[in-house]
């Protein structure tokens, strides 16, 4: 009985602030517990631990019960984000009839946001999305080599561009998620990769969300981190990438999970909170002056790290990557 109850409850639900129609508004975030990301069943991405939030036994009726529970807590927030730890547009994960019920349930919201891998984005799957909604895609990087060898994303930039076109044609908005410092890249290489990726995604969508890697348990990144072979990115790197974004392009946001902790983006510990606050404020206001003027003695340490680490690690190590993947037991 306990197990049945769990499947009928959303994985998580909370309220926060976000932007809709150029204004800061109340938002509700709903994470539906689904059967999980299709790509995760083939091993998934190197930094992703979302498979723990899924359950292969989840059926359509459980999803409908989760929706009902979520609607009971819905207070008319203008912005509703519906996450699934996978792809909302994948029919095996969210059957079409459930998808329609969910969209209908929140039809009073001014803005809806759902996430999907590009492979599930087409005119048909987008047809039920209300105009003005946003589809978010985890592009992670605009470099196909980084996608293949470092993130193990299972799609390439061409797939993203095709989905971006379908989203535009459907009259919908596109939010692109990008990673800062996937594994097997030095801090310097990751910095450059994120800068080019921000410029690329800004040309193809309305919003770009830059996500510094947060070490999630049971992932390849976790294994590397535990043996001392991976350091999450520095906040100095995050500031530099945000500052590099083309002016007047897509709205740029970043709300780092685990920021200021050893598993998340961090500096020395004393300057972290202030910088994270500036990044949060910048994400709302887009005021670039918030990204300037931060000072701390650890900035020199970051610059030394950029120089020294780059000389130790100069290329993606595929053999080691495969060895890491083989050693992971993916829990379903
Ligand atoms: S990051 Fe997204 S696509 Fe990759 S395994 Fe996780 S849920 Fe699936
Ligand atoms: Zn510092």
245-264, pLDDT tens digit by residue? 988 889 999 999 999 999 99
Pocket test for ligand 1, best of 138, 148, 219 (most atoms within 8 A of CB): 138
- What distance in angstroms lies between residue 109's CA and the mean position of ligand 1's atoms? 27
86 lines ligand 1 (CB under 6 A): yes
Q: How far apart are CA 140 and CA 190, in angstroms?
A: 11
CB 96 within 8 A of CB 38: no
Radius of gyration of the chain (CA): 20
CB 129 within 8 A of CB 135: yes
Instruction: Quote the percentage of the chain above a pLDDT of 90.
Output: 85
Confidence at 94, pLDDT banded by 50, 70, 90: very high
Mean pLDDT of the chain: 92
Q: Whose CA is nearest to atom 1 of ligand 1?
A: 48
Asked if the model's pLDDT at residue 301 lies above 50, the reply is yes
Question: CA 136, 139, 141: angle at the middle one, nearest 5?
Answer: 150
88 lines ligand 1 (CB under 6 A): no
Instruction: Quote the percentage of the chain above a pLDDT of 70.
Output: 92
Backbone phi, psi, residue 270, to 5°: -85, -30
Q: 22-35 b/e with 16+ CB inside 10 Å = b?
A: eeebebbbbbbbbb
Pocket test for ligand 1, best of 41, 54, 86 (most atoms within 8 A of CB): 86
Asked if the model's pLDDT at residue 311 lies above 80, the reply is no
Confidence at 313, pLDDT banded by 50, 70, 90: low
Average pLDDT, integer, range 58-73: 97
Confidence at 175, pLDDT banded by 50, 70, 90: very high
Backbone phi, psi, residue 140, to 5°: 70, -50
19 lines ligand 1 (CB under 6 A): no
Asked if the model's pLDDT at residue 321 lies above 70, the reply is no
Asked if the model's pLDDT at residue 309 lies above 90, the reply is no
Confidence at 3, pLDDT banded by 50, 70, 90: low
**Minimum-distance ligand 1 atom for the alpha carbon of 153:** 4
Extended strands (E) in the chain: 12-20, 23-31, 79-83, 111-115, 134-140, 173-180, 207-212, 251-253
Q: How far apart are CA 319 and CA 49, in angstroms?
A: 22
* pLDDT score at 323: 58
* CA separation, residue 259 to residues 53, 212, 215 (Å): 21, 9, 11
- What distance in angstroms lies between residue 136's CA and the mean position of ligand 1's atoms? 12
CB 18 within 8 A of CB 27: yes
213 lines ligand 1 (CB under 6 A): no
């Amino acid at each position: 009985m306990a197990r049945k109850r769990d499947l009928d409850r959303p994985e998580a639900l909370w309220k926060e602030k976000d932007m809709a129609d150029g204004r800061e508004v109340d938002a509700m975030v709903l994470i539906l517990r689904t059967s999980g990301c299709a790509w995760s069943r083939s091993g998934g991405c190197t930094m992703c631990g979302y498979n723990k939030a899924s359950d292969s036994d989840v059926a359509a009726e459980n999803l409908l019960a989760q929706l009902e529970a979520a609607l009971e807590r819905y207070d008319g927030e203008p912005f509703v984000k519906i996450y699934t730890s996978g792809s909302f547009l994948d029919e095996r994960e969210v059957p079409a009839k459930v998808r329609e019920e969910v969209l209908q349930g929140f039809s009073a919201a001014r803005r809806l946001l759902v996430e999907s891998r590009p492979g599930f984005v087409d005119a048909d799957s987008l047809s039920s999305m209300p105009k003005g909604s946003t589809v978010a895609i985890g592009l992670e990087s605009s470099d196909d080599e980084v996608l293949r060898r470092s993130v193990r994303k299972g799609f390439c930039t061409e797939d993203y561009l095709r989905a971006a076109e379908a989203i535009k044609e459907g009259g919908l908005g596109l939010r692109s998620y990008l990673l800062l410092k996937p594994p097997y890249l030095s801090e310097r290489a990751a910095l450059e990769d994120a800068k080019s990726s921000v410029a690329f995604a800004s040309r193809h969508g309305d919003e770009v969300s830059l996500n510094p890697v947060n070490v999630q348990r049971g992932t390849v990144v976790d294994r590397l981190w535990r043996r001392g072979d991976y350091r999450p990115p520095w906040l100095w790197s995050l500031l530099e990438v945000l500052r590099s974004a083309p002016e007047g392009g897509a709205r740029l946001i970043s709300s780092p999970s685990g920021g200021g902790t050893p598993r998340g983006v961090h500096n020395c510990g004393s300057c972290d909170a202030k910088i994270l606050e500036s990044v949060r404020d910048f994400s709302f206001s887009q005021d670039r002056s918030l990204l300037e003027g931060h000072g701390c003695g650890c900035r020199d340490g970051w610059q030394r790290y950029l120089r020294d680490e780059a000389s130790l690690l100069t290329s993606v190590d595929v053999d080691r990557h495969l060895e890491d993947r083989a050693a992971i037991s993916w829990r379903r």
